[in-house]
A and B are shown apart, each in its own frame.
Chain A
Amino acid sequence: MSRLIYEFNESIQIALAQIRANKMRSALTALGVIIGIVAVTLMGTAITGIDIGFDKSLSMLGDDVLYVDKWPWIGAEDWWTFADRRPFTPEDVVNLNRVIAATPNSQLDVAVFADLRSSTIKSAGNSVSGVFTRGASAAYERIMTADFSEGRLFNDTEDTSARQVVVLGYDVSQALFPGRSSLGETVIIRGQPFQVIGVLERQGSFLGGFSFDNQMVMPLGAYRKYFGIRDENTEIMVKIRDKTHMDEAREELTGAMRRVRGQFPGERDNFSINGGAVFKEKLDPIKKGIALAGLFVTGLSLFVGAIGIMNITFVSVRERTKEIGTRKALGARRRTILLQFLIEAVSICVVGGVVGVGITYLLCAAVKAAMPAFPIVFSITLVAIAMLVSVLTGIVSGFLPAMGASRLDPVVALRYE
């Protein structure tokens, strides 16, 4: 056992001396591995980045909120069956909250009615159109995920008395009142003056598309008065108590909604329950696709790198045939020679791996500096994987030449010039 350790140490020293002695050659060979490792680690950061960015987007939707709509968010093939569904009314929500309150150990916390539309909003000098406008009751406060940068949400009184107050998203506020606070200002919506009572913090966009900052929220009372409630856009938002029990909550909500809607047993649900999870299901195959394509590309570049390592190890074995003969004469066994050349191949790969990881790290830092919003994550796990891949590449590509070296006939090897 101790002999193996000494041989191992000896092999590492020889390998390092060999790399030092052939700097240019080793560097060029390592280049292949470097490219492969950069590809592997970049792919890794991209996939983790997508994951994290997605989770961030989902939490904007509220990962503890279920949405009851006429349409499912994803996969509504037969539009008309959904369109014919009875719209949701504020009374449905009152009834739903009553059912929730009557259920012992309910997984559901509170239901809020909302109506959505797109509208235009003006200040003295500016106008923003296509603002995502939500009319909701004061209980919306318990559901919303965004924080206020200033101000507050309307209260119950403001809601029921249809006060003309509004909460603006970050971008809307900035567009109307560039470079200053909009709190307390008056804005015009549908020709009516509304007072700004709150501004939301910047949130970013959902999966890089729809922006959460291009929105405003007003009391349902005022919304109803000036927009009216459009049947197809009503929505019930339901906050759940424990997001780890999402499935039970969904189950319970389905039952409660059927009661509220007076559905008979056997009848199909005349509503759809939506949540961030449906996006997750949709995104998984895309992620798999990216990973698979990435695997192919990185595999290819690593393969090319491995061929380079194999070639250089063959060259090294040939150059040092006489040395191998000498070592065998002095008592080196097959295992010893095999180990020596394997370690040499692995060493080059590990050096390449370290450099590759370094390059990826710098690239990530650069991307982060240039585009702070871009979700890119450089993790320790990734470093570990990169090093493991480097070592494996070295072993796989060095094995054949090292095996050849270990099987050399000492008589032939000693005579080699």
Chain B
Amino acid sequence: MSPPAPVESRPVRPVGPLVIAIEGVTKLYQMGDETIHALRGVSLEIRRNEYLAIMGPSGSGKSTLMNMLGCLDTPTSGKYEFNGQDVASMVDDELAEIRNKEIGFVFQTFNLLPRSDALRNVELPLIYAGVPAHERHERARQALESVGLGNRIHHRPNELSGGQRQRVAVARALVNRPSIILADEPTGNLDSKTGVEILALFDDLYELGNTLIVVTHEEAVARHARRILRLHDGLIASDGANY
């Protein structure tokens, strides 16, 4: 696919190096006696500094594809390369390493540790990466400042609003300087005003050169992305620029 013609109101879509290359990926699930074909052969390339929205009705394979992209799961068949590494054949701990270094997750339900303050929550990926304490604090603090929570670093999740919690989660996703940020319905648990704020934050991250993948069923959310991928019955129904 060739990059679409530039449009005045939007910046030119950059063509960065390849981050994700998926080819003919399928995923089967065994549910009792029934075999479910969640993905029936998906091919996809994602380059650095793309802003991709993945859409589709429930049961379309959207979640499965997201798990696959996030290296939480491996395909039944097909090829998956992440920065040139063959992910499809990796075992648990190797996948954990990739997730830790290359992927920043943002969940619909924030998934913060309730008993740890914002700083410790953001530090967590750095602990798993083996970053020394001093550097860890500094980087976590910077990440929180970059999402506008520099004055909330010692608040616990239950002392923060929904929007602030999701910002902590975004800071946590950013702190390891990952290759991609993978957000699963990031505004799903937020009111519309706060949702807009989070999406504005995503826009900023994109402008700063990050690569974002947002899984959503809301057109309003997908509208922020520069490229929209629609799934249907485990296949890509459409994949195109969003201008």
Seen from chain A, the residues whose Cβ lies within 8 Å of a Cβ on chain B are 2-3, 6-7, 10, 17-18, 21, 322-323, 325-336, 409-411, 414
The answer for the CA separation of A334 and B115 in the assembled complex, in Å, is: 22
Residues of A near B105 (CB, < 8 A) are 329-330
The answer for the CA separation of A327 and B116 in the assembled complex, in Å, is: 13
Contact among A331, A334, A411 for B125, CB-based, below 8 A: A331
CB-based nearest B residue for A329: B105
Interchain CB contact under 8 A, B99 and A331: yes
Residues of B near A7 (CB, < 8 A) are 127-128
Interchain CB contact under 8 A, B127 and A411: no
The answer for the CA separation of A21 and B73 in the assembled complex, in Å, is: 33
Interchain CB contact under 8 A, B72 and A329: yes
The answer for the CA separation of A330 and B100 in the assembled complex, in Å, is: 5
Interchain CB contact under 8 A, A330 and B70: no
CB-based nearest A residue for B70: A329
Q: Tell me the minimal C-beta distance from A311 to chain B in angstroms.
A: 22
Interchain CB contact under 8 A, B72 and A411: yes
User: Would you mind naming 27 contact pairs between A and B with Cβ atoms under 8 Å apart?
Assistant: A3-B128, A6-B127, A6-B132, A7-B128, A18-B115, A21-B115, A323-B111, A323-B113, A326-B107, A326-B113, A327-B124, A327-B128, A328-B72, A328-B96, A329-B99, A330-B124, A330-B128, A330-B172, A331-B96, A331-B97, A331-B128, A331-B176, A332-B96, A334-B92, A334-B96, A410-B73, A414-B72
CB-based nearest A residue for B131: A6
The answer for the CA separation of A334 and B131 in the assembled complex, in Å, is: 19
Seen from chain B, the residues whose Cβ lies within 8 Å of a Cβ on chain A are 67, 70, 72-73, 92-93, 96-97, 99-101, 105, 107, 111, 113, 115-116, 124-125, 127-133, 172, 176
The answer for the CA separation of A45 and B176 in the assembled complex, in Å, is: 54
The answer for the CA separation of A329 and B72 in the assembled complex, in Å, is: 7
The answer for the CA separation of A326 and B124 in the assembled complex, in Å, is: 10
The answer for the CA separation of A335 and B70 in the assembled complex, in Å, is: 20
Q: Tell me the minimal C-beta distance from B69 to chain A in angstroms.
A: 12
Interchain CB contact under 8 A, B128 and A2: no
Q: Tell me the minimal C-beta distance from B107 to chain A in angstroms.
A: 7
Whether A333 contacts B70 in the complex (CB less than 8 A), given A2-B130, A6-B133, comes out as no
Whether A326 contacts B111 in the complex (CB less than 8 A), given A7-B127, A333-B92, comes out as yes
The answer for the CA separation of A367 and B73 in the assembled complex, in Å, is: 62
Whether A322 contacts B115 in the complex (CB less than 8 A), given A3-B130, A327-B124, A411-B73, comes out as no
CB-based nearest A residue for B130: A3
CB-based nearest B residue for A325: B111
Residues of A near B67 (CB, < 8 A) are 411
Contact among B99, B107, B115 for A17, CB-based, below 8 A: B115
Whether A336 contacts B128 in the complex (CB less than 8 A), given A331-B97, A331-B101, comes out as yes
Residues of B near A409 (CB, < 8 A) are 73
Residues of A near B111 (CB, < 8 A) are 322-323, 325-326, 329, 414
